[in-house]
Amino acid sequence: MQSSKNPVTAPTRQSMIALVFIISTFLRRIVLRAWPFLIIALKPNSEGRYIGLLVILGGIALISLAAGLVNYFRFRFWLTDDNLNVEQGLVRKSVVSIPFDRIQSINTEQNLLFRVFDIVRIEVDTAGSKGSEVTIHAIDKELASQLHDFVMENKKAVKETADNEDEVPESDVSWRTILHLDLCQLVKTGLAQNHLRAILVIGAFLLARIQDVSELMGDKVIDRIDELSNSDWFSDMLAVSVLVVFGILVSVLVSLITVITRFYNFRLSESVKGMKTESGLFTRRQQNISFKRTQIFQYTAGPVRKLLGIYNVKVFQAAADPSSKGAVQIPGCPDDQVAEIKSRFFEGRTPVTELPYRISRVYVFRRWLLGGLLRGSLAAIVCICLKEWYLLPLIGAYMLYDLVKHALFYHYYRFGFSDDLLTIRSGFWILKYRTVQWYKIQSVEVAQGIYQRQKEYADLVFYTAGGSVTIPFIELGKARLLQNYVLYKVESSGEKWM
């Protein structure tokens, strides 16, 4: 069935452009580590010349250049019949061979410079096998696609002899665009980001600044400012509202810029076996989603998003590091399309039609008791001891907020399941819907604290290769029922979870 020939039989170096990239990476890394020395050296000598700085900068440049050159010339890759081989190492040479079977996907990335030279950077993703991720910094786009095809075809060949699955060969796969975001939709998405967090970050930053100022100028200045501001309550309020408006503006601007640069010209296309996303203004990035590898399908919507009718979809795939690497984001997905995309992921499975089950009401008080109430009371005691009365209302507000947060969490938490799937809705401000297939669960945990033991409640945790889902505070009987059900589902299933 071999339709394409091995494009890289002999050990090959990366494209020369990779040198630029590698050297700049080394430069950045060294500067990041050595910046305190740079600041120390930022002192002119008696003749007013920055000799120390020049020497250090020259040294860094030289080292980066040397390291980059060695790295470049010692990095070689080639393909054998069923392995991708990479030889590398600055001091010690090592050869890594990755069987095609273990390669989950090959993702490509292209930044502005690379686009000029028609070059791509490729990342070979081997889910679950730690230490064997490989990145080839720069190779010709043409070669990259040949390499991709060869790997995928031969992977299939290996598989077919093994378990005779009749799957569509990679070359016959046709891609169909199912979602394309234009600038207008991206702007909408940017506007719908969570700006509350950004405002908090800015607030914390400003507070820290005030701290710095007081340290620099002594408390006298701050006292004066305090006096001034205390005398004029109105100007205080004005300053706060200006700050809030400013915070919102900055936050909106920043998220607009990040969303547009990251997801510019976002395209989601679909084939029989999976989907792929392409996006980016300066750096074009292509990510692959395979239906088989998908562990958790998640979509979220905050109040603003709901109003605009767009959802943020995230697909967690099996990965060596379940937290970040395997997750692929589909931003600004129109609500009518979420269901459609979701159904593609769980084709042939019984869908979850309703979410009838809730967690226990006890959750609210218990979590508050151990969280906001405990923390707040401790803080209040400290404040009373220090006689810092003005902080007390703030602590009170925090405790109230924490209580409301848990109450809302309880209010919105729902779960439901079918023969094949489990869906959980959680969150208190931004609602998060997560769907897992029973047979993809790796292990189950039933956990209980003292109070839960007395009152016969339990937390239930399901672990998958792409993160975990938790059902907190349900009756012990139900938790055990679900645990037994899941174990039965997993143990009776012959399907591969990946």
Partner 1 sequence: MNFENLQLAVEELPRAEALEFTGIHKEYKSVKMVSNLLFALVLLIGGICTLVFSGELFSIRWWLVALTVPVAYFLVVLFFIHKSFIYKGYVIRERDIAFRSGWIFRSVTTVPFNRVQHCEIVQGPVEKSFDLCRIQIYTAGGSDSELMIPGLLYAEGEQIREHLLTKIAANAIQ
Contacts (CB under 8 A) with partner 1, residues 296-355:
318, 322, 350
As measured in angstroms, the least distance from the Cβ of 45 to partner 1 is: 39
Rounded to 10 degrees, what is the CA torsion of 271, 2, 148, 119?
A: -120
| Cβ burial, residue 250 (10 Å; 0-12/13-18/19+) | middle
As measured in angstroms, the least distance from the Cβ of 427 to partner 1 is: 21
- Residue whose entry in the numeric block shows the structure tokens 């607030």: 203
As measured in angstroms, the least distance from the Cβ of 414 to partner 1 is: 13
As measured in angstroms, the least distance from the Cβ of 454 to partner 1 is: 12
Q: Which is nearer to partner 1, 53 or 487 (CB)?
A: 487
Which residues lie closer than 8 Å to 112 by C-beta, 6 or more apart?
Answer: 282, 283
CB 159 within 8 A of CB 101: yes
Nearest to 108 by CA among 324, 319, 285, 290: 285
Stretch that binds partner 1, among 136-144, 281-289, 367-375, 447-455 (CB under 8 A): 447-455
Contacts (CB under 8 A) with partner 1, residues 356-375:
356-357
As measured in angstroms, the least distance from the Cβ of 62 to partner 1 is: 41
Q: Which is nearer to partner 1, 227 or 419 (CB)?
A: 419
Among 184, 216, 450, 454, binds partner 1 (CB under 8 A): 450
Among 35, 175, 429, 488, binds partner 1 (CB under 8 A): 488
Residue 463 binds partner 1 (CB under 8 A): yes
Contacts (CB under 8 A) with partner 1, residues 380-399:
none
For 480-494, give the DSSP string: HHHHHHHHHHHHT--
From residue 464 to residue 483, the character string flagging contacts with partner 1 as x (rule: CB under 8 A) and all else as - is xx-xx---------x-xx-x
Q: Which is nearer to partner 1, 48 or 356 (CB)?
A: 356
Contacts 24+ apart (CB under 8 A), 468-475: 469/296, 469/422, 469/424, 469/434, 469/436, 471/359, 471/415, 471/424, 472/359, 472/363, 473/359, 473/360, 473/362, 473/363, 473/366, 474/357, 474/359, 474/360, 475/360
Q: Which is nearer to partner 1, 12 or 483 (CB)?
A: 483
CB 433 within 8 A of CB 306: no
Residues of this chain that bind partner 1 (CB under 8 A):
128, 318, 322, 350, 356-357, 417-419, 441-450, 453, 461, 463-465, 467-468, 478, 480-481, 483-485, 487-488, 490-491, 493-494, 497-498
